[in-house]
Structure formats: C-alpha cells, structure tokens
Structure 1
C-alpha cells in the first residue's frame, strides 16, 4: 500500500489556506483601486463643473460691465443706478440652459479724481500721481472725471445639480462729476 506521510497531507492543506488569503488580498487591492479611480473621476468632474460655472459667471460679468452706465439715447450720461440681472447660459450650445447666473446690482466701491481741469496734480488709481496740465491740448474745458471701481457679485446655479458658485470681480468705469455724486456716495 502506498501511503503518504502525515506532513505531506498537512502541507497540501496549508497551500489551500495561503491561496485563499492571496485571493482575498488581491480582491481588496482591486476594490481599493476601483474606489480611488472612482473618487478621482468625481473630483475631475466637479472641477470641470466649477470651471464651467466660473466661465458662465465671467460671461455674465462681461455683459454687465459693457452695459454699466451706458449713455442715454440722446448721448447724455446715464444717471440710472445699475440693476440686478439674470443671465441664462448654455455653455455647450445644445439649446438647454446649463447655468443660471444672478448678478447682484453692481456697487461703487471707490472713486478717485482722474482729471483736474485746474492744472494741478492728479492722484489716479493705485496712487499714481502726475500733472494734469492741458495746456495747448484744447482739453481745458473738459469736466472733472472720476475713475470708479465697481464690485460685481454673481451667484451661478447649475441647472442639473442645483450646486451654486459665487464669483466676484471688480470693474473700472469712468464717471463724470454728476454720476460720481449720484452713484458713488
């Protein structure tokens, strides 16, 4: 009779247990790799959505900035304070609104005198100083003007998820004295 020794039988049982442990470890490694790649994909998707929302906000801010204090139809300077606007943005041009951008009424944050018709020293934006002499230029009759900085705040809402992103930007506009007194208290 051909009998196998006891130690050989034990070794065959150990190979089965070690094989099962290796399968469990490989399964855990694959599961972890899947979870990491899935979370990375979500992060990239969120970053893309945020970048699209910021692009939509910038588009709306450009629209508001270009219409900020547009002259009246007769050419006179506008004295109407800027109003809140809502912009519907289709970022991928498929005919469906992707983002709703609510632009709060722009607020005049600061204004500094830009032109001094008396020929004195002018302090412009960022503290830049210089003479405002208009001798020989024919500009001595221009009214005083002011460099103003406006704060434009937006809230962008994703139409699909409802996620909201806030974007703020400063915009410079040149005002005459009447606009300065009425709009930048």
Structure 2
C-alpha cells in the first residue's frame, strides 16, 4: 500500500512538472512575440521619422526654388518650369537615385498677406532698386530734394505653402507634411495691386 502511494505521488509530480514547463514555454513565446512586435514598431517609427525629414527637406527645397524667381507673383499657377504629374505647381524628388519619384511637393500659389506702399521720403536713392521706385520731382517747401507722396514700390509679405507627400510606387505610408514659409519682397505697386487685396495704385 505504501509503495502504491509513492507511485501516485511521483506520477503527480511528473504531471505538475509538465504543466509548469508548458506554462513557462507559453510565457516565453508570448514574450518573444511582444519583443518582435516592439522591434517592428521601432522600425516603423524610424521609417516615419526618415520620411518626415525627407519630406521637410523636399518641401523646403521646393519653397526655396519658388522664392528664387519672380514667378511667384508673375505666374503663380506656373511656379516650376517642369511639370510633375501634370502640374507646374508640383515638384517631384527622387531621393535615392532609382529613377522613381519618392516625394512630391505641391506648392499652392503664394498669397500676399500684407502690403505697405513705400513713401518717397523713405527711399534711399543711392540704392539702384530703390532709385527706380522714386516718383516725380515735386518738392515740399523748405526741404530741398524732399519728394512727397507714395513711391512706385511696396514692401509685401507673402505666404508660401508646400505640402509634401509620399510619391513612392506603393504610397504605403500615405504620410503628408505641410510647410508654411513667409517672405518679404519689395515689388512694384502694380504687382501689389494685382495680387494683394485692398491695395490701390498711388
């Protein structure tokens, strides 16, 4: 009788060892799966950060290209010389040299947000671009060389908005980034009147 009780106890211990081993194996499997998912999430985060940096650099490059020419107020719907995807206000970038566009940047026509007509008295006539702005030869009494009224130029503030998006073949991320930049430009009052609301000719 004593021997049969020892056998039953030994069989129970082996059964319990098997249950504990299975629970430990299950816990190790769950831990391994969690680690795999965490590393996959980390890879996605790094990929998103890389796209963000590429998109920001591409949007900045497109904005700088727009600001380096007078097309922003001469032909605001034809900002770039080459079209990208049928639009002359879109710039495409191949970042890795595989002949495929990776990022496309859509630039909205720049908008004039502020204008200040420059008075003749504020011009520095020794600067060629400001000398071209001077109007007439009328003088006010008592001040030799002083010219009254507004000049032919205005200081304007423009807002340029660029939206960069994934242009890859799969467009898997669907990520978008919008960059807004302001720039001050001295223009002829005719340009200010044409593009800046509430401006009238001098």
Would you say same fold, with TM above 0.5?
Answer: yes
In structure 2, the CA distance between the partners of 1:109 and 1:164, relative to structure 1 (3 Å rule), is farther
- Asked if 2 retains the 8 angstrom alpha-carbon contact of 1:56 and 1:91, the reply is no
1:169 lines up with 2:186 in the alignment:
no
**Cα offsets for 1:135-183 (capped at 9, x unmatched):** xx65695433322121112232322243252332222211122222222
Pairing 1:1-185 to 2, within 5 Å after superposition: 3=3, 5=6, 6-68=8-70, 80-84=74-78, 85-113=89-117, 115-118=118-121, 132=122, 138=126, 142-143=133-134, 144=151, 145-160=153-168, 161-162=170-171, 163-165=174-176, 166-185=178-197
Deviation (angstroms), 1:44? 1.4
In the alignment, structure 2 segments of 5+ residues that lack a partner are: 79-88, 135-150, 198-202
Gaps of 5+ in 1: 71-78, 119-131
Larger relative strand fraction: 1
Q: Deviations over 1:86-121 (max 9, x none)?
A: 2121122333222222212111111224x4322xxx
Q: What is the RMSD computed on CA atoms of the aligned residues?
A: 2.7
Distance 1:104 1:19, change over 3 A: same
User: What number of residue pairs does the alignment pair up?
Assistant: 160
Task: Provide the secondary structure at the position in 2 that maps to 1:67.
Answer: coil
